[in-house]
Amino acid sequence: MKCLLCSEYSLLHICKNCQETFLTPSLYKRRLSNGIEVISFYKYQEIKDLLFTKHTDLGFYIYTLLAKNSFKKFAQEFAPDFHTVSLAIDDTIKSGYSHTAILNKALKSSHIQPLYNKIRAKNKISYSGKSKAFRLQNPRNFEIKEIKEKHIIVVDDIVTTGITLIEASNLLIKQKKDVLFCLTLADVSLK
């Protein structure tokens, strides 16, 4: 097969050279209006075409590769002195897999335990390409299943306005959880 980025022959969907050249993550931070910090690994514009694969068969491989290059490396260096769990936002299976569950799974380490099927949106409206006003008028109405652990990392693939992350983290805070921060692959606000 050919590398998706350079078109050279490769055994991987994206060759090692392109992974090192184009997919080496950085840490970008922003604070949501509720005070929770969001850490992202890429600027949205840098990996936009790769993110668009999420509802295709190819997306499984792309998200797995992106998770390995970013979330997994982050988890290996994250070492608090307490037990932490990570929760993917709405890790419902679509197109044969859940892209947020792939990201969450990559966080598994001696300090982070990924939990699945814990944050579910009751509202199934797609936010993709929608305005902030639309997002505010159509909240996700998250339902959170029982979580025993206190310290939580919230996981999503993209942060745009932050409304989804705010809604999820506020609900967790109401349940007396300590939301340490949110992790996303990409931040749309970064230029």
Domain boundaries, the chain: 25-187
Would you state the pLDDT for residue 139? 80
**Cβ distance 150 to 87 under 8 Å?**
no
pLDDT of the chain along its 191 residues, tens only? 899 899 999 999 999 999 999 999 999 999 999 999 999 999 999 999 999 998 888 999 999 999 999 999 999 999 999 999 999 997 666 667 888 999 999 999 999 999 999 998 887 777 777 777 887 788 888 888 999 999 999 999 999 989 999 999 999 999 999 999 999 999 999 87
For domain 25-187, the question of CATH label 2.40.128 is answered with: no
Would you state the pLDDT for residue 95? 66
**Cβ distance 90 to 120 under 8 Å?**
yes
**Cβ distance 42 to 25 under 8 Å?**
yes
Would you state the pLDDT for residue 91? 65
Q: How far apart are CA 113 and CA 152, in angstroms?
A: 10
- Residue 26 is classified by DSSP as -
Structure tokens at 10: 């490769």
pTM for this model (two decimals): 0.91
